[in-house]
Amino acid sequence: MSPDAATDAATAPSIITAEGAGPHQTDVTIIGAGPCGLFAVFELGLLDLKCHLVDILDRPGGQCAELYPEKPIYDIPAVPVCTGQELTDRLMEQVAPFSPVFHLSQMAEKLEKLEDGTWRLTTDTGTVIDSKVIVIAAGGGSFVPKKPPIPGIDAYEGSSVFYAVRKMEQFRGKKLIVAGGGDSALDWVLNLQPLAESVTLVHRRDEFRAAPDSVNKMRALVAEKKMTLEIAQISGLEGENGQLTGVVFKDKERGEWSVPCDMLLPFYGLTMKLGPVAEFGLNLEQNLIPVDTEKFETSTSGIFAIGDINTYPGKLKLILSGFHEAALMSQAAVRIVHPDKKIRFQYTTSSTDLQQKLGVA
Amino acid sequence: MILNVTTPDGERHALEALEGWRVMEVIRDWGLPIVAECGGACSCATCHVYVDADWLDRLPPRSEEEEAKLDEAFDVRGTSRLSCQILMREELDGLHVTLAPMPR
């Protein structure tokens, strides 16, 4: 985490995370904690619906937090300019009165309908959430590590090539090559160096985006000959039966050469993949979920889709469109959760009832 | 004006382009296979192209931000650019780029 990000986290509203695997009971389960998922918490909250959110990132904000936290956004109504992180922080402040529960660093994996009509969502870490309504606000899909387009790399994934570190012990005594120049690459170089037989960091240029402190520590290890830094790029892999024996580096001056290696850890940032949502049976069109424009409901009753992940005639992938979709979806969702309740439409400006929910009356 | 694009399968396409459009946007608008997932914010490195060497000196140099973002691309060469960072203009009529290998 960069020093900036640490500061942001300190000033952001506190996040309620779930304890235990559940089954958790709530009114609405939202897949995706980006701006649209967060604003859905607000609109649903005004209608007294409680929400749990699932997101693969370790913090709320979706693309705003991961892709462009520092970039300005100019097309949020009545907010002439704010950054992706500011938008996230303000939404978190706006939804705080409704105490949404977050399940972070998890991917929504399985969706099934129980006998009484309840939806049961299971994540890849085993969390179970039961609710009457599902809202898919998953944007461009789950953020997952970029897999380098190196020929034959698939054969080594999971045995010799790893895009994340789950158990450090598995790297003990191994010859490791770590690729990349950001915080993930540098953090794992520093963490794994003490237990690996050898560590080589390979990066395309002698400049690093990672936190300066990590870069200094890495350079100190190189100076002490406790690890190797290669300014080069990966051009091929050597090995057989899923076991790497070497990685081929190349650069303009030196050409190509091979470095012995047991395990390769590439860290080239994240990319978005639709993932298991594609298996939810929602009649996808080009990886998007078709919805109506009255309720933003999918082909399956009780499952809604809002934000970048849905499609309908005239769809624009704008945050403000997702906000609108969240409001209309909520009106339909409350009728599913409370079919017998008469729903009153109210304004926050004048309704004491809404103002009490927001904690301002 | 024309933007020439060679796709990974080796096919060359001559695309009609409009002044002021990002090269990435022209490629995407014509439906060629470019990921460009951040939509032009220099935030994802999935619009990586190789610019024909003849055209290199007619392009503004990489910004520091583009240089840093290229760290997340693969097989980066001297001719590598993020195509969202190049705007089409008169002098670039006929520009030729080749789509770089994309992450999976």
Q: Does B104 map to a domain?
A: no
Model confidence at A12, pLDDT cuts 50, 70, 90, reads: low
Give the integer Cα–Cα distance in Å for A94 and A326. 14
Q: What is the pLDDT of residues A206-224, one digit of tens each?
A: 999 999 999 999 999 999 9
Please tell me if residue B44 touches chain A, with a CB cutoff of 8 Å: yes
Tell me whether residue A340 is annotated as binding. no
The 10s digit of each residue's pLDDT in A46-89 is: 999 999 999 999 999 999 999 899 999 999 999 999 999 999 99
Domain A3-144+271-357 has CATH 3.40.50.1100: no
CB–CB contacts below 8 A, A to B: 60
ipTM reported for the complex, 2 dp: 0.91
- Residue A300 vs residues A213, A292, A305, A331: alpha-carbon distances, Å: 51, 11, 10, 17
Cβ-defined contact of A204 to B70 (cutoff 8 Å): yes
**pLDDT averaged over every residue in chain B:** 94
* Residue A74 marked ligand-binding: no
Rounded to whole angstroms, the maximal C-alpha distance in chain A is 75
Residue of B nearest to A233 (CA): B75
What pLDDT is attached to residue A23? 95
Check whether the bond before A23 is cis (ω within 30° of 0).
yes
Q: Which residues of B touch A252 (CB under 8 A)?
A: 78
Structure confidence at residue A13 as a pLDDT band (50, 70, 90): low
| Cβ neighbours of B68 in A, within 8 Å | 207, 209
Note whether A3-144+271-357 and A147-268 share their fold.
yes
Integer CA distances (angstroms), A216 to A83, A171, A180, A230, A250, in order: 30, 23, 16, 16, 25
pLDDT digits (tens, 9 = 90+) for A124-166: 999 999 999 999 999 999 999 999 999 999 999 999 999 999 8
Contact B38 A68 (CB under 8 A): yes
Q: Which residues contact A245 (CB under 8 A, 6 or more apart)?
A: A238, A239, A260, A261, A262
- Contact call for residues A42 and A51 (beta carbons, < 8 A): no
Beta strands (DSSP E) in A132-283 are 133-136, 142-145, 175-179, 198-203, 228-231, 233-240, 243-251, 255-260, 263-266, 270-273
- Which residue among A67, A148, A149 sits closest to B43, beta carbon to beta carbon? A67
Place of tokens 């695997």: A21
Question: Are residues A149 and B70, on separate chains, in Cβ contact within 8 Å?
Answer: no
Q: Would you list the domain boundaries of chain A?
A: 3-144+271-357, 147-268
Q: Specify whether the CB–CB gap between A134 and A31 falls below 8 A.
A: yes
CB distance from A68 to chain B under 8 Å? Answer: yes
Q: What is A147-268's CATH topology?
A: FAD/NAD(P)-binding domain (3.50.50)
Q: Within an 8 Å CB–CB cutoff, is residue B62 touching chain A?
A: no
Q: Examine residue B83 and state whether it is found in any structural domain, yes or no.
A: yes
Check A150 against B68: CB less than 8 A apart.
no
Structural domain for B34, as ranges: 2-99
* A25 labeled binding residue: no
How many structural domains is chain B composed of?
1
pLDDT number for residue A153: 95
A63 labeled binding residue: yes
Is A143 marked as a binding-site residue?
yes
The shortest C-alpha distance from A180 to chain B (Å) reads: 7
Tell me how crowded residue A252 is: count the other CB atoms within 10 A of its CB: 9
Q: What is the CATH number of the domain that holds B17?
A: 3.10.20.30
What is the nearest CA distance from B40 to chain A, expressed in angstroms? 11
DSSP label at A217? H
